[in-house]
Structure 1
Amino acid sequence: MFIVIDDRETVTRGYAAGFDREGVVSIGFSSKDFREWLQSAVGNDVLAIGAFILGDCSDRTSIPKSIRNKSHAPIIALNNLKQLRDTIELFEAGVDDVVHVPIHVREILVRTAVIRRRTVGQSADTPTSLIRVFLDGRDPEIGGSTLALPRRELRILEHLVAHQGKWLTKTQLFNAIYGLFDASFDENVIEGHVSKLRKKLRNHLGYDPIESKRYMGYRLDDLRKRSNGEFDPSRHN
């Protein structure tokens, strides 16, 4: 889920439409509404956020610090003018990247993926990883071959890989995939998506890399250990 912060409603609506075409959930806030929401946001809400897109608002150099008090998700600032002073000011404020508009949302996804791999140890480029995700819309590589996945199954896999080894509840996955404010679906829909994803991964890997436990949710195994020969497939068949 991406959050776009801009005091111009036409801009937040435009980016929301662009992210939707790429199969990514987003929500737009004015700077005032965003600050109010951030103050009340809890852990599950913050965990669902893939990146913050910081647009035109009067107090935007102070917003990154407020975000960092609650989240380590990438912050990408949008700049209308190529002025060195503004760019330096934004980096000093704590953003991870500055891009000049207009920019396609697909490029934002790519830049976000690069930042996440660099800052949170994303293992997509690790040659021993059995599952490689790219976070930019491309299908993942499973056991060395590309696996085409529906968008929501892909987003679930990306979220599990990004938090590999950690338990994610059904609510946390739902918030990340459907957004924090979507009341048109029940969170139990996640169970169906995960079930289909596990079956596909099992067919490609010979075992199910996703653990599930009642009340705790889902967790992706340590894939690097398995790829180094520490895994016995017969124990998981």
Structure 2
Amino acid sequence: MHILVVEDEVALCDTIVRSLKRLAYSVDYCYDGQKALDMLSVESFDLVVLDLNLPNVDGMTVLKTLRQTDIDTKVLILSARCEVADKVLGLDEGANDYLTKPFHLDELSARIRNLTLRKFTQNDIVLKCSNLSFNTKTRKADVNDEELSLTRKETGILEYLMLNQGRPVSQEELIEHVWDSSVDNFSNSIRVHISSLRKKLRNALDYDPIHNRIGEGYVMEDKK
């Protein structure tokens, strides 16, 4: 999942980013509202973690501007404003959730998990494909209860393909949802990671659940 963190407290922002990256999310970040608007205008994100008290452009304006053209991207407001009126205003303006500061990182990750799974109409926190399971809470994959050793990128690719089982996912779509803004779209990196992931799955399952449909993309399917 590709997440944008917008928080002007640098230390807090860096802590959130490190925490989410450890969970194998793809994360970009910025410290002010104008930069957030610039990034949102050129990139796709699955979720935005948005502070309200931002320099240059405040968070509520960022939210309102985003919702003028985008009603799908999930927005989780993260704010020290704890009055009921503030929460109601944020939700009425289009936020999907509201978390007040101070907060625990475990609660933040749980709310992010809930919002991203809801986007893909997935209710169970454990995704399954044949004997392969991926726990979206622990961020671990296993085959027949034996944990697979995956890199962060392999974890992100696996999660996205399992959320979209049976549907071809293009390389460009994977880059949007699994990589951050530093990736080179013409890089061979994504093919290297997918090749490594497929090898690990093939060794564990005795078959490859990921297929490359020429001209369409990568698709994950249960064993026929």
Aligning the two structures, in what range does the TM-score lie when normalised by the shorter sequence?
A: 0.7 to 0.9
Q: In the aligned structure 1, how far is the partner of 2:219 from the partner of 2:95?
A: 30
- Residue 155 (structure 1) shift: 0.9
Post-superposition Cα deviations, 1:156-214, rounded to whole Å, max 9, x if no partner, equal: 1011123333332323323433312345x963122122112112222333322211134
Higher strand share: 2
Q: In the aligned structure 2, how far is the partner of 1:20 from the partner of 1:175?
A: 16
Matching residue of 2:33: 31
2:128–2:162 Cα contact (<8 Å) kept: no
State whether structure 2 residue 159 is matched by structure 1 residue 170.
Answer: no
Higher helix share: 1
Matching residue of 1:52: 48
Task: Give the AA of the match of 2:141.
Answer: P
Q: Structure 2: which 5+ residue stretches go unaligned? A: none
Matching residue of 2:155: 154
SS of the residue corresponding to residue 28 of structure 2 reads strand
State whether structure 2 residue 19 is matched by structure 1 residue 18.
Answer: yes
Is 168-177 or 122-131 further displaced after alignment? 122-131
SS of the residue corresponding to residue 61 of structure 1 reads helix
Matching residue of 1:217: 217
Q: In the aligned structure 2, how far is the partner of 1:122 from the partner of 1:180?
A: 26
- Equivalent residue runs for 1:107-118 within 5 Å: 107-118=107-118
2:125–2:137 Cα contact (<8 Å) kept: no
Judged with a 3 Å threshold, the aligned counterparts in structure 2 of structure 1 residues 124 and 152 are, in CA distance, closer, same or farther, namely: farther
> What percentage of residue pairs aligned between the two structures are identical?
22
Task: Give the AA of the match of 1:61.
Answer: M
Matching residue of 1:79: 79
1:2–1:27 Cα contact (<8 Å) kept: yes
Q: In the aligned structure 2, how far is the partner of 1:127 from the partner of 1:169?
A: 20
Post-superposition Cα deviations, 1:17-59, rounded to whole Å, max 9, x if no partner, equal: 33344443322232112223323x2xxx41xx23210113354
Normalising to structure 1: TM-score of the pair?
Answer: 0.74
Task: Give the AA of the match of 2:122.
Answer: Q
Q: Structure 1: which 5+ residue stretches go unaligned? A: 232-237
Judged with a 3 Å threshold, the aligned counterparts in structure 2 of structure 1 residues 26 and 126 are, in CA distance, closer, same or farther, namely: closer
Post-superposition Cα deviations, 1:76-116, rounded to whole Å, max 9, x if no partner, equal: 11121432111111111221211122334443232222223
SS of the residue corresponding to residue 89 of structure 1 reads helix
